[in-house]
Structure 1
Amino acid sequence: MKAVLFDMDGVLIDSEIFYMEGTLKWMRELGYTGTFEEVCEIIGTTMNVTYEMILELLEHRYTMEEVRKINVTYFTEHPLEFPAVAKPGSLELLKRCKELGLQTALCSSSSRKAIDAAVQGCGFGPYLDFIVSGEQFKESKPHPEIYLHAAGELNLKPEDCVVVEDSQYGIEAGKAAGMKVVALCDHRLPNKQDEADIIVDHLNEVKELVEKWA
């Protein structure tokens, strides 16, 4: 192993439950009567795909622009608080990767604006060699493009990289890229993680794996 490629939401920051519960709340106000599990299917997608899936759940009673505006307004009024949302052990894991001489990349489906806010707010910047947003690509996770691109930027082969993910789409993307995938489990969310090579409950376990594989 020569590099660790990290997803952001649900991996380095504890944001997925925050976003899913918030999204469910404003969707309920628009008349959504489906389940929390159905809403959670948007996890790991880019914002454009997220909005398309939400429109389906809302049975196209609203326009894309209306949904986008409502979502942005809600989360502007209810923002994430950095660095409080950093996952326990996230900074220590990134520091350990650098101590071991490993390259690191942040490969998130979130917007670059959201990524930069999290990286700055949580102090991840000094420990990341490369940052990329899924919105830079035509294909989003589960397509492997984002991870293959990151490996290329680091001048590494896919088999030299380990992916740390949480969502089904992200896990599928890492596997499709030909990389080993470690899934971080969050028992509050219905993520399907069966395709991961290893499933862990805490980032300290990822650190132990990194020390073993480095």
Structure 2
Amino acid sequence: MRPADAVIFDMDGTLTDTEKYYQQAWPEALAHFGYEASSETVLEFRSLGKPFALKRFKELFGEDFDYDLVRDYRRGLVRDLIEKNGIPLKKGAVEILKWLIENNITTAIATANEYARTKRYLEKLGIGEYFDKVICADMVKLGKPAPDIYIRACRELGKEPSRVFAVEDSPNGVKSAYDAGCKVIMVPDLTEPDEELQKMLYARTDDLWEIRKLF
């Protein structure tokens, strides 16, 4: 018996090698408005849902911090980076998606991006056809690390969370999937899992193609 009936993927940093764009754009956007953040601090923002991000930014920079203004500027920087460099896929992304389809395993996306941007990226990459469902941050009440997005993805797929592999690259994503009851596979992008995060993992793999071995 297979350990899972479906696989739900995060997008930035997991399927696409775009998290590095955000890590470059956040400090530039903050500096533009007179703020400064270390690279370690910026890593905290990976896949972080708006309510949680807003709270964290105000803790760091004060109650008068205009999150929407800075985030909109950062979006422009990321858009420029994508126009210049494209949207690179992570190693093994297309191969594992094809393998899952060939083996009749249901797939979905659960991303911190908004739906319109996600659909645009998927169309640009030509991989939208591989996913049965696409669940985005603007489709749930709370984004990651809250479990809402994975709970909804499992519900829309008609799968019990315990029968779902969730593939993530960041701590916020791992916590979201774990608290939803999924079996979490971490494919590290910018950081390795610490001791606390390791306890939440079903597995850790070096790349996406290795996931097939878990079946």
Partner amino acid for 1:41?
A: E
Amino acid at match of 1:27: L
Letter aligned with residue 130 of structure 1? K
RMSD of aligned alpha carbons: 2.2
Alignment partner for residue 184 of structure 1, among 177, 182, 187?
187
Q: State how far apart, in whole Å, the 1-side matches of 2:35 and 2:17 are.
A: 25
Q: Give the structure-1-normalised TM-score.
A: 0.86
Gapped runs of 5+ residues in structure 1? Answer: none
Output the CA distance in 2 between the equivalents of 1:145 and 1:196: 19
Which residue matches 1:71? 74
Equivalent residue pairs, number:
209
Q: Does the CA contact (< 8 Å) of 2:29 and 2:70 recur in 1?
A: no
The percent of aligned pairs where both chains have the same amino acid is: 27
What is the CA–CA distance in structure 2 between the aligned matches of 1:170 and 1:183, rounded to whole Å?
9
Q: How does 1:57-206 map to 2 (within 5 A)?
A: 57-60=60-63, 62-79=65-82, 84-186=87-189, 188-189=190-191, 192=194, 193-194=197-198, 195-206=200-211
Shift of 1:76: 3.5
Which residue is equivalent to 1:53? 56
- In structure 2, relative to structure 1, the CA distance for the partners of 1:142 and 1:72 (3 Å cut) is closer
CA distance in 2, matches of 1:156, 1:191: 27
Which residue type is aligned with residue 178 of structure 1? G
Partner Cα distance (2:64, 2:125) in 1: 38
Any conservation in 2 of the 1:14–1:87 contact (CA below 8 Å)? yes
